[in-house]
Structure 1
Amino acid sequence: MSVAPAINLVGMLALNQAHVLETSSLDYAALENLIEQAFHVGTCDSGGMDAFLIAVDQDADYDSPNFLWFRQRFTRFVYIDRVIVAESQRQRGWGRRFYADLFAAAEAAGHDVVCCEVNQVPPNPGSDAFHRALGFEPVGTATLAGGVKTVSYLVRKLAQSDV
């Protein structure tokens, strides 16, 4: 399968690499593979990638330790692998729009939960506040990268969920 031509992989890769502290590094092939497996992709591209979200579901062939943590605990889920908004585009509602679209797609596909992680070390208070405001709740933590990074695992139950 090849990536849809409407997705600006070069722009996404550049934006991702500018924010590796908050997410993680990817090369072009890894990003292309992630997009090909994606359950949902949201982008804002006005000539230079402004923002994007990539989410996969439980069926993805993905070796991220964070994704695998959720796979061990949930049968069906959508995992937000990364959402990045360029500094110049912050406070314009891109994150909320991406998440609203993702929640609708996940519910339509019969998913009960959307999962993600937020860095605790190094801290990411903006992301903590954003996810808390959208109804995400902590369900675990992990220390990664040889103790350099600690994450909090978050889950948001979807409206149709009875769990």
Structure 2
Amino acid sequence: MTDLRQHAGPVFPVIRPAEAADFDSILALNARVVVETSPMDRERLGLLDGMADYHRVATVAGRVAGFLLAMREDAPYENDNHRWFAARLPRFLYVDRIVVGAEFAGRGIGSRLYRDLFDHARAGGVPLIACEYNIEPLNAASRAFHDRFGFREAGRQHVADGAKLVSLQTAEVGR
């Protein structure tokens, strides 16, 4: 197996719909960043995949390098953050989680997934992308990433029984 960390050049991921065959890789990626996201087992992933409007993976050399899961406003999703947005916004696409493997960090894979997500929302006439990131404890990398895509704070709330404070963010999709 090639050690991709040795290659400093650009990485050109293939963005495609997630498939059941990708689930083991998705679960492994999520497990590495569970503090920033939330726990997910195969059953939970199957449920999320079933209600997602957007569930794509980025692959590099046949390996799943990252994934993004997003739900529409009317998804039957039991999630405090999704519920917060649904109570305030008529139409949006909520990013449940985006994860890129550590060996692929800094190579534009997350940005490629987000550009594809914005294209998907634009094609579907969805005006806003919604998400959140931790501000207590601070996830500075996520804050910087979302700032680059024009996200702005719409509110804050405590989650995880008060263990985390999140910044609830929205970005206009544009034309």
Q: Calculate the TM-score normalised by the size of structure 2.
A: 0.85
After superposition, give the CA deviation of every residue in 1:19-49 in whole Å (9 maximum; x if it has no partner): 1101000111111111121111221234553
Percent of paired sites with the same residue: 37
> RMSD in angstroms over aligned alpha carbons?
1.6
Aligned residues between the structures: 158
The residue number in structure 2 matching 1:59 is 74
Q: 2: CA distance between counterparts of 1:4 and 1:21?
A: 23
Q: Does 1:32 align with 2:40?
A: no
| Aligned partners of 2:134 and 2:165 also within 8 Å | yes
Q: 2: CA distance between counterparts of 1:96 and 1:32?
A: 25
Match of 1:10, SS state, is: helix
Match of 1:62, SS state, is: coil
Give the deviation of 1:57 after TM superposition.
0.6
The residue number in structure 2 matching 1:134 is 149
The residue number in structure 2 matching 1:69 is 84
RCO comparison, higher one (Cα < 8 Å, 6+) = 2
Match of 1:51, SS state, is: strand
Give the deviation of 1:134 after TM superposition.
0.8
After superposition, give the CA deviation of every residue in 1:44-95 in whole Å (9 maximum; x if it has no partner): 2345532111111112111011111111111110000000011100011111
Q: 1: CA distance between counterparts of 2:22 and 2:142?
A: 24
Give the deviation of 1:101 after TM superposition.
0.6
Q: 2: CA distance between counterparts of 1:47 and 1:97?
A: 17
Q: Does 1:16 align with 2:30?
A: yes
Q: Point out the structure with max Rg over C-alpha.
A: 2
Match of 1:146, SS state, is: coil
Letter in 2 for 1:95: G
Match of 1:25, SS state, is: coil
Q: Calculate the TM-score normalised by the size of structure 1.
A: 0.91
**Tell me, which stretches of 5 or more residues in structure 1 are unaligned?**
none
